[in-house]
Amino acid sequence: MKIYLDGKFVDEADAKISVFDHGLLYGDGVFEGIRLYGGNVFRLEEHLERLEYSAKAILLQMPLSRKELSDVTCETCRQNGLTDGYIRLVITRGVGDLGLAPWLCAKPSLFIIASKISLYPKEHYDNGLAIVTVPTRRINPAALPSTVKSLNYLNNILGKIEAKQFGALEGIMLNDQGYIAECTADNIFIVHKGELITPAASQGALKGVTRSTIFSIAQELKLPIREADMTRYDVWVADECFLTGSGAEVIPVVKLDGRVIGSGKPGPITQQVLAAFRRRVLVEGTRI
């Protein structure tokens, strides 16, 4: 495997960063997870825009222009002979001293990994997930804006560990007020009386690229959709539920906290949305 690292393509074994890199020492950096379908990098421009916004929010200088980032992302896929896969694009603050001061880091570091990913087994796409609510709360947006996709992922990792301890592959995270923010690695949607509903970013939800695609798909399918404050009760009594993310794509949920959602099987609207999503991934994006 070839990794793009600070201007060069290097072998996987040689893709190394310094132990003094603040991305490692303090989680100081930003990233994007991007999918490649049939030689098409899905919504690459949207991912790069969000990366730029995340970097700007934490006062991190982008090492390349958007066009340059687009080019090296596609070239990383070509270097690895990929037409389908998962791309991880990471910008760290770079090498500094053992203090927090980011202004002592001379320049940011950029690396891009293009490989494969399989987040959930296929049977869960066919039959749906059973998920739980985890004890760890989502970080308050006033403390760390959820719209910044940063390397600080301990909050989500703790939630993921808790979900596994409860025997689930994914878990819902609540915010300080008890409203649903998102899952540990995915956005969440419910279907209630024919309407799609999802938590707002102000409640702690990441503005996911796949999430935004669902809004476009809803318009295409003429399905009403809105953001709203959402509690666990809303999911318990929903007709359908599904999760979205670059890794997860669109995956049905059939049970939350031991309570069956709807019929207990992936619902018809979820299946329509998933079919529409699979049609779009081959045409919305950048050819490598």
Give the structural domain span for 32. Answer: 2-115
Q: Euclidean distance between the first and final Cα of the chain, in Å?
A: 17
Check residue 37 and give its pLDDT.
Answer: 95
Check residue 118 and give its pLDDT.
Answer: 79
186 shares a domain with 48: no
The mean pLDDT value for 118-134 works out to: 93
The mean pLDDT value for 130-139 works out to: 97
Query: CB atoms < 10 A from the CB of 116, how many?
Result: 10
Check residue 260 and give its pLDDT.
Answer: 98
110 shares a domain with 135: no
Binning pLDDT at 50, 70 and 90, where does residue 134 land?
A: very high
> Smallest Cα–Cα separation from 138: which of 125, 121, 157, 151?
157
134 shares a domain with 107: no
Check residue 163 and give its pLDDT.
Answer: 98
Percent of the chain with pLDDT over 70: 100
Q: Which residue has the higher pLDDT, 141 or 99?
A: 99
pLDDT at 85 over 90: yes
Question: Annotated active-site positions, please?
Answer: 149
Model pTM? Answer: 0.94
Final residue belonging to a domain, choices 115, 148, 177: 115
pLDDT at 117 over 90: no
* Contact yes or no for 211/274 (Cβ under 8 A): no
Binning pLDDT at 50, 70 and 90, where does residue 141 land?
A: confident
Mind listing the pLDDT tens digit for each residue in 168-209?
A: 999 999 999 999 999 999 999 999 999 999 999 889 999 999
How far lies 9's CA from each of 24, 76, 81, 267, 286, in Å? 21, 8, 14, 45, 21
Final residue belonging to a domain, choices 90, 115, 140: 115
State how many domains the chain has.
2
Check residue 194 and give its pLDDT.
Answer: 96
Rg (the chain; Cα; Å): 19
Task: Kindly report the CATH number assigned to the domain that includes residue 278.
Answer: 3.20.10.10
Rounded CA separation 119/122 (Å): 9
211 shares a domain with 129: yes
Handedness of CA 105, 108, 113, 119 (dihedral sign): positive
220 shares a domain with 198: yes
CA angle 55-152-1, nearest 5°? 80
| Average pLDDT for the chain | 96
Structure tokens at 32: 């994007």
pLDDT at 218 over 90: yes
Binning pLDDT at 50, 70 and 90, where does residue 24 land?
A: very high
pLDDT at 136 over 90: yes
89 shares a domain with 140: no
171 shares a domain with 97: no
129 shares a domain with 258: yes
Rounded CA separation 242/269 (Å): 10
Rounded CA separation 241/234 (Å): 10
> Smallest Cα–Cα separation from 233: which of 133, 147, 129, 134?
133
Task: Kindly report the CATH number assigned to the domain that includes residue 102.
Answer: 3.30.470.10
237 shares a domain with 185: yes
221 shares a domain with 135: yes
274 shares a domain with 194: yes
pLDDT at 34 over 90: yes
* Contact yes or no for 47/69 (Cβ under 8 A): no
State which H helix or E strand residue 276 sits in.
helix 268-280
280 shares a domain with 155: yes
CA angle 257-130-238, nearest 5°? 70
Binning pLDDT at 50, 70 and 90, where does residue 142 land?
A: confident
Rounded to the nearest 5°, which phi and psi values hold at 35? -105, 150
Final residue belonging to a domain, choices 84, 100, 115: 115
Contacts of 109 (CB under 8 A, 6+ apart): 5, 6, 17, 21, 23, 63, 91, 92, 93, 94, 95
Handedness of CA 67, 72, 74, 75 (dihedral sign): positive
